[in-house]
Structures are given as structure tokens and as C-alpha cells.
Chain A
Amino acid sequence: MNAALQAHGLGKKYGRRWALTDCDLEVPSGHVVGLVGPNGAGKSTLLNLSVGMLSPTTGSVEVLGQPAGTQQAKVGYVAQDTPTYARLSVADHLRLGAHLNPEWDDSLAQQRIQRLRLDPKQRAGKLSGGQRAQLALTLGLAKRPELLILDEPVAALDPLARREFLQDLMEAVAEQELSVVLSSHLVSDVERSCDYLVVLVDSRVQVNGEIDTLLATHHRLTGPRRTAKELPGDQYVVNESHTDRQSSFLIRTDRPILDPSWSVTQLTLEDLVLAYMGREVQSERPVLEVQR
């Protein structure tokens, strides 16, 4: 099976500013991928490059095994801020989708609109932010893509609408067997909906893997003060902090932790992401692929 998304040395320059530099990434298909990172990390740029909305300055990006932008019918895209035509009605939007997509699934679209209680005659400009996002998602889903890319779909929504949107997305994914890549700067969004995580900081992929595996292989160790060099070689230190008498390490390892002097705590996804985001970005690339 092809990778859903594959980037090699991908870079994008706007004028003189690099929005994304030298990005390597491989995301297997069949996952709901959460792309997280601070604002300005290059998430949007990466996704826009993946759908062919932008063309790369350096490197290449492949989607479902083909260069980005060449298989429009197979890749759904819900753009940032979920734009819709303000003066067109909900029904007009569905008609638009039906006219412009060969694989359009009209019954799916109609069912969704009904279930979401959207009035087909309502103009999109009069919808709430959450409803607009739902409409944009409906367009993306009824297209019957193999891969659905969502660029910060819930960034502008209130907490309740966020929850509803993501829940709805998860249900649709379960029914349609498609891969999803969605970006967010909130870990809670990802935690709720994704099974695969990519952390992007300063256009570098910091960590990349299935969330269950990541949580199982990352631990926080607390114990008497010592330096990182004293840890076994198979324990990769993500970050460390020390007080006078105590040391605390966030490590990644796939072996059991044998040293009894450590107290080991499980991490939440948020701890994990923040640990990677808070790190100084190293000049040489850390090897961080999670083994499976």
C-alpha cells in the first residue's frame, strides 16, 4: 500500500522567507493523522503543498504515490477557515460538489445535511462557524476521496462545535475507510480524533508515529540527580530537568526500564507533544522514527 503522504526535502519560500525547509515525512495510509505544531511551524504550508494548492520551491511531495495535485478526485481538501460561498445556499453547495466531482456521493451528502439539521435553502453566509465547517466537511466527504486533508478545520470553532465536528469526522472515517490528515495547534483535538501523530516544529518533523506506540514508549523518569550520560544507551532523552537533588527525564525507549531507583510515570499525549515542541531545535536531525 502506498504512503498517504510522502515528502522529501520539501521546502517552500515566500519571497525571502522560508515557510518550510527541508521537510522529510512519511505517513502510512489508513490512519487519522494529527499534524500538530506551534503557529508558524509550516503546517498549513505542508498541507497546501500536499493538495497542490502551492508548488514546492525545493524537494517533492507525493500523495497516494503520485505527485501532489495530480489526483484531484482522490484527495479531499477542507481549507483553513473552511471557506464557503456566502451567497450560495447549502443545496447550491451540494450541487456544486455534484457538478465538479466525478465520484460524488449524493445520498451521503443529503443524509449528512439532514442529520446535521442544515436547512438546504439557508445561505452559507448565514450559517454559524460550526455549521459552515460541517458543510465544508460534507463537500470533502461526499467527494469520496481516498485521502482527506483538513487544514485547521476547528481552529475558529467554540469548544462544543469542535467536539461535534471531530466526532462527526470520526464517524465518517469509520464508515468510509479513508485516510485523514488534519492539522491543529491544539493537542486535545488530536487526542480526541487521531491515531497517528506528527509533530512539526520549525518545519522539522520532531516525532512521527502511531499514538498508542508513542505513549507506550515514552516515559517520565524521576529520581536522584544524575546526568543524561548515565542513562542506558537505548534510552533516548527527549528532555530533561534538574533540581539540586532530583533529575527528571522524558525518555523514549522500547525496552523495559530496569533501574529501580527511578519512579516511572506514564505520559499524556499533551506532555509528549509539549516535550517535543519545547525542545531546542537541534541542528543535526535526531533519529526519531518509532519502531513498530
Chain B
Amino acid sequence: MIWLTWRQFRVQFLVIASVVLAAAVLYAATGPGLADDYQRFADNFIKNLAFARLNPVLYQVGLALLYAVPPIIGAFWGAPLIARELETGTHRLVWGQSISRWRWLATKVGVGGLGTIVVTGALSLAVTWWSSPIDKAINAGQESNFYLPRMFPVTFSGRGLVPIGYAVFAFALGVAIGLAVRRTLVALAVTLAVVILVQILAPTLIRPHLMAPTDQNTVATADNLRGFMISGPGPDAEIKQIEVGINAVGGWKLTDETVDKSGKVATLPKWVIDCEPNGPNERATSPKAAACFQRMADEGYSQHVRYFTADKFWALQWREFGLFLLLAFGLLGFTFWRIRRDLS
């Protein structure tokens, strides 16, 4: 049965695997140079990165590949796995041989699932390893407006275990949808759409609930201020929102709200406009602004901030990976239950 599964699967497998292999080789070849630069330039590493034009490209391609692989695997490996057999009627040929449906399904899912883990795992390992000097430098506080901390949602989904979790989930989803709708093309499209939706929504809807974030109340000051949201230009402008910096480099801030002394979310009073420095890039604090911040502190206003610190990275990675692995097993459970029932 392994032979047959491989025979049917090999084209799809080799197409994706060769792309991933090529990428892995590219990262393995350029990675050591990057690691050397990290040692050599130390604190100026990020600044110097831009001089080697390839590096920003490789950085983004790596992320893009890790985003692309789960939906593609789900759609092109998972969805046709059973749907194509049902569509062409070949399930009646193969079930007419001396093999139980469960063994047939288990072999197909086993080979495909293993392929998914190996391919995504290899790619994620290559990209995560290649990017690690950059991630380290960013987490050490080097400034950049191009490279984001690996804790940030966009980067987080393209590092470590999470892409593997997504890919396994996508594969299981494709198989289950293929079995439910029995049309290869429909299953392929639905799987593609659902997996992309999950990739978009998981960081905001799921990830913040996987662990308890650090919960903090800080008084806004001219020093920790990160920005204002102002209702508009002109003399009547009001401050809608205040954002403060957190004392955790490389962390991911979930919420940042101004609360009053009872702890409730507050609407900012009009006079808070005084806290604004004179223009967006003006760092020097005017006496007026200093007085304003003092008044906010005196009246009990503070910033309620929730965030994940950078050292929670792997704990959060494992949890999200585990969650999607569980979802994948749930979908497999459905598939094994459904395959035993009437299909022809």
C-alpha cells in the first residue's frame, strides 16, 4: 500500500519538495556568512545588513515561503488525497482488493502527513536558523524599521514550530474537506481559503489566549511615550489615544489603554492635548507638556498594557503548534469515522 500511495503522490510531493529543497540549500549556503557578519559587526549588524542586497530579499522570501507552504500543502496534497479517488471512482477499485479502508486511509494519511512534517520542518528549520542572527540582534535592541521582532505576529507565524502546525492542520483539513465534498476542485479551493483565513486570524483571535500575557499599569511620561492618536489637525484637535513603550525589547504588545484611577477604560479629557510635544519629531519636552503629564499622573490616569515578553517565544510557539496539531487530529478522527460509512 505504501508503494501505491507513493506512486500516486510522488509528482505533487516532488514539485513542492524540490522548491523547498532549493530554498533550504540557498539558506544553508548564505547562513554562515550572515552569522559571521553578526559576530563581526556586533551592535551595527542590522545597519550593515542593507549593504548586502540579498539579505533583505532572503529574509522576506523565507517568511513568504513559510506562509505559502501550509495552504499549498493543504490544497494540493490534502484535498485530492481522497476526493480524487471518489471523483474518479477508483476507491471502488482499490477497496475491491484485499485491504481494509482504515489501512488504506492510514497509509495515505501517514505518507502525506510525514511528507508534510518533513518538508515544512526542513524549510522552517532553514529559515529560522538563517534568520536567527537578525532576530537576536533585534531582540538585543538594535533598531530597524524593516526587520520585526520574531515575537511580532507577522514574524512569529514564519518561525519555528508554528508553520509546521499550520501545515499539518492544513493537510488534515484538505483530506477531511475532500472526503466531505467529494470534488477535488471544490475541496482544493475551500481548503486554500480556509487555511489562509486561519493564518490571518490566528494571530489576533487565537494566539493572545494561549498564554497569560504580562499585565502592567504604567504612568505615561514624556520618556516612555510612544505616540498619540490625534483626532485631526487644527486648534480643536483632541487626543484620542496614548501609546507608551513597554520595558521589554522584542516583546509583542497586545493592548494599550488609558484607564482612570478606578481602573476603568477612560476617555481622555480635553486638556491632555497639552501633553503633545511640538510636532511629531520633537523630542524635547516643553514645560507645558511636563505639567500635563504630571496632571495626568495626579488625577490617577495610567496606561494599562498587556504584552508577551520576548522570552515567551518558544513557550508560545509550542502552544500554538500543539493546538493546531490537536485540531489536525480532530479532523483525522472525522475522516476515519466518515470513511467507514457508505461512500459509493
Contact of A72 with B90 at beta-carbon distance under 8 Å, contacts A55-B342, A99-B3 already known? no
B61 at the interface (CB under 8 A from A): no
Interface string of B143-166 (1 = CB under 8 A from A): 000000000000000000000000
Contact of A100 with B97 at beta-carbon distance under 8 Å, contacts A53-B92, A83-B88, A85-B8 already known? yes
Interfacial chain A residues near B4, Cβ < 8 Å? 96, 99-100
Interfacial chain B residues near A101, Cβ < 8 Å? 97-98
Bound Cα distance A78, B95 (Å) = 10
> Which residue of chain B has the shortest Cβ distance to A149 in the bound complex?
B96
Interchain CB contact (< 8 A) of A83 among B7, B89, B97: B89
Q: Decide if B96 touches A140 in the complex (CB within 8 Å).
A: yes
Interchain CB contact (< 8 A) of A100 among B88, B94, B341, B344: B94
Interfacial chain B residues near A277, Cβ < 8 Å? none
Q: Decide if A85 touches B90 in the complex (CB within 8 Å).
A: yes
Determine which residue in B89, B90, B92, B93 has the highest number of CB atoms from chain A within 10 A of its CB, and name it: B93
B99 at the interface (CB under 8 A from A): yes
Determine which residue in A79, A92, A99, A100 has the highest number of CB atoms from chain B within 10 A of its CB, and name it: A100
B1 at the interface (CB under 8 A from A): yes
B278 at the interface (CB under 8 A from A): no
Bound Cα distance A242, B94 (Å) = 53
Interface of chain B residues 1 through 24 with chain A (CB within 8 A): 1, 3-4, 7-8
Q: Decide if B90 touches A84 in the complex (CB within 8 Å).
A: yes
B100 at the interface (CB under 8 A from A): yes
Contact of A53 with B344 at beta-carbon distance under 8 Å, contacts A88-B7, A100-B99, A140-B96 already known? yes
Q: Decide if A51 touches B96 in the complex (CB within 8 Å).
A: yes
Interface string of B303-344 (1 = CB under 8 A from A): 000000000000000000000000000000000000001111
Q: Decide if A78 touches B97 in the complex (CB within 8 Å).
A: no
> Which residue of chain A has the shortest Cβ distance to B99 in the bound complex?
A100
> Which residue of chain A has the shortest Cβ distance to B104 in the bound complex?
A100
Contact of A86 with B99 at beta-carbon distance under 8 Å, contacts A54-B342, A55-B342, A92-B7 already known? no
Q: State the interface size on chain B (CB cutoff 8 A).
A: 21
Bound Cα distance A126, B88 (Å) = 15
Q: How far is the CB of B85 from chain A (nearest CB, A)?
A: 9
Contact of A54 with B344 at beta-carbon distance under 8 Å, contacts A83-B90, A85-B90, A85-B93 already known? yes
Interfacial chain B residues near A77, Cβ < 8 Å? 92, 96
A143 at the interface (CB under 8 A from B): yes
Q: How far is the CB of B9 from chain A (nearest CB, A)?
A: 12
Determine which residue in B3, B90, B98, B342 has the highest number of CB atoms from chain A within 10 A of its CB, and name it: B98
A97 at the interface (CB under 8 A from B): yes
Interchain CB contact (< 8 A) of B97 among A84, A87, A143: A143
Q: Decide if A72 touches B99 in the complex (CB within 8 Å).
A: yes
Q: Decide if B89 touches A100 in the complex (CB within 8 Å).
A: no
Contact of A96 with B344 at beta-carbon distance under 8 Å, contacts A81-B89, A83-B90, A86-B88 already known? no
Interfacial chain A residues near B100, Cβ < 8 Å? 72
Interface of chain A residues 40 through 90 with chain B (CB within 8 A): 48, 51, 53-55, 72-73, 76-81, 83-88
Q: How far is the CB of B97 from chain A (nearest CB, A)?
A: 4
Q: Decide if A83 touches B342 in the complex (CB within 8 Å).
A: no
Interface string of B75-101 (1 = CB under 8 A from A): 000000000000011101111111110
Interfacial chain A residues near B342, Cβ < 8 Å? 53-55
Interfacial chain A residues near B343, Cβ < 8 Å? 53
Interface string of B31-42 (1 = CB under 8 A from A): 000000000000
Bound Cα distance A72, B99 (Å) = 7
Q: Decide if B89 touches A96 in the complex (CB within 8 Å).
A: no
Q: Decide if A84 touches B98 in the complex (CB within 8 Å).
A: no
Q: Decide if B98 touches A102 in the complex (CB within 8 Å).
A: yes
Bound Cα distance A99, B103 (Å) = 13
Interchain CB contact (< 8 A) of B1 among A51, A73, A100, A139: A100
Bound Cα distance A117, B4 (Å) = 24
Bound Cα distance A136, B93 (Å) = 8
Q: Decide if A79 touches B92 in the complex (CB within 8 Å).
A: yes
Q: Decide if A73 touches B93 in the complex (CB within 8 Å).
A: no
Q: How far is the CB of A88 from chain B (nearest CB, A)?
A: 7
Bound Cα distance A80, B98 (Å) = 18
Bound Cα distance A48, B96 (Å) = 10
Contact of A79 with B99 at beta-carbon distance under 8 Å, contacts A99-B1, A100-B94 already known? no
Q: Decide if B92 touches A96 in the complex (CB within 8 Å).
A: no
Interfacial chain A residues near B88, Cβ < 8 Å? 83, 85-86
> Which residue of chain B has the shortest Cβ distance to A57 in the bound complex?
B342
A279 at the interface (CB under 8 A from B): no
A95 at the interface (CB under 8 A from B): yes
> Which residue of chain A has the shortest Cβ distance to B341 in the bound complex?
A55
User: Closest 6 A-B residue pairs measured CB to CB?
Assistant: A77-B96, A79-B92, A100-B97, A83-B89, A73-B98, A72-B98
The 8 sampled A-B contact pairs (Cβ below 8 Å) are A53-B92, A53-B343, A77-B92, A83-B90, A96-B7, A96-B94, A99-B1, A143-B97
Q: Told that A97-B97, A100-B98 touch, could you supply 18 new A-B pairs with CB distance under 8 A?
A: A53-B342, A53-B343, A55-B341, A72-B99, A73-B98, A79-B92, A81-B89, A83-B89, A87-B8, A88-B8, A96-B7, A99-B1, A99-B4, A100-B99, A101-B97, A103-B98, A139-B97, A143-B97
